[in-house]
Amino acid sequence: MPKKNPSGREKAPQEMNAAAVERFLETSRTLTAAMISLDILVAALSVSELLANGFGARVLTGLALVSCILLGYIAVYQNRRNERFHDDYYSFYKDELARRSGVAGQRINASEELTSQVIETLADAIDARDEYTTGHSYRVSEYARLMGEAMKLSPAEVESLRREALLHDVGKIGIPDAVLGKVGRLSEQEALAIRSHTTIGADIVSRLTSIPGAAAVARSHHERFDGKGYPMGLRGEEIPLHARIIAVADSFDAMHSDRIHRKGLPPEVIRGELEKGRGTQFDPKCLNVFLELLADGKLNPVFSLSSRMRKEGTQIELRSALQARCEQEAEAIRRDKKPILSVNDDAATRIKSAQSALALKYSQRFNFVVVTLVPKEGQMVSRSEIQQAMGAISFAAKNTLEGAGVCSYCGETQLLVLLYDTSTNSVDMLLQRIYLDFYRLVDSRRFDLTHFEI
């Protein structure tokens, strides 16, 4: 008797299509892998806060996807036993899995963005304790990232290193202002209080399962290579690699930044001070990598963060003001209702005027760049695929531009990016990182990215 397939149409039984089975299983495995990271992002949040932040919906979406995958496996297993399998069953389950995984993927991306926002907020809270440390955590994270890339760490490990560096001083939240901001010599008790920020920080971030190395870095970034550091007196490679990297970056930024009692030291003076700590305070290998980056000028784009004008108060306020300006210009472009913005449009001329006004106001250089999503030649893509790809561009840009720029949608397939205090080389470097992050999220066979600078 004819059997009905999931679409309701009758179809005569046919021999099991082994290729279809394998395609289905491969799809299931791929989509299962997409369900990474269902861990709690901030252990201190209550259940109600987690639900308010979309975590509950993420879990439910994940469970729905798992149930669909399991259902598909059961169907495959039963049909294998009966030596029957229909192409229509494969298509049905593939479409259903793709649909549910799309929703789950959006939740995962939103959660990753929430993670970044939490880390940024903590870093800003730390740096806001003292106007002279504004941007310190961001600069240290960028130095550490560049060192990690130069040391050929994997992209995933470099990203972990960057996030750990953002949180390395989180324990200072627990240090009294009177001690943290004291100008004169610290008493023995005050010095012990300052040192305790390492253990306080480790305790704060120890429950952040999405950044498992953060606690070790917070605890160990003041250890010394000769074993004379604190809090545990670790020596050499007993100190975690990421902490050894961040120790160099942290020390450099502390010397390079202005303080209430002195101006920042020039790089050539700092180089001599770092050399004095070779093999005693610093891991020689990590120090060599940093000094090479310094000599090659690859750290120069990060230096600007320490001298940024504070006409609106703090780094946070400056970035908020620039985000508002970027959104204002993007909204003006959207009102023009042109499908694609080009460098010769009136809107581009208007943005150039805005760019000049920003440069005059903040006494620094700004760059507006338009990034465009282009379907590959011969590829038929749906509106929902375009929307998902644009979401990936936005996520990649925000992930890359922390401390270096802001972005906003200016069309269905275009993103307006505002970069600040950047050289030509650093603009290219930032855009390359956005492209790399984008192609980790989106099939490069379906879309291309292009950009032009206004």
* pLDDT recorded at residue 99: 55
* C-alpha closest to that of 41 among 112, 120, 102: 112
Structure tokens, 253? 């930024």
* pLDDT recorded at residue 209: 79
Tens digit of each residue's pLDDT (9 = 90 or more) over 170-202: 998 888 878 887 777 889 999 999 999 999 999
Query: Mean pLDDT for each consecutive 10-residue tract of the chain (454 residues)?
Result: 45 44 47 37 35 40 46 45 46 54 51 61 66 74 94 93 92 85 83 94 86 94 96 96 97 82 80 95 97 89 54 57 84 78 76 79 80 89 90 88 83 89 72 89 88 87
* pLDDT recorded at residue 425: 55
- pTM to 2 decimal places: 0.50
* pLDDT recorded at residue 440: 86
Tens digit of each residue's pLDDT (9 = 90 or more) over 336-382: 777 677 767 777 888 888 887 777 666 678 889 999 999 998 888 89
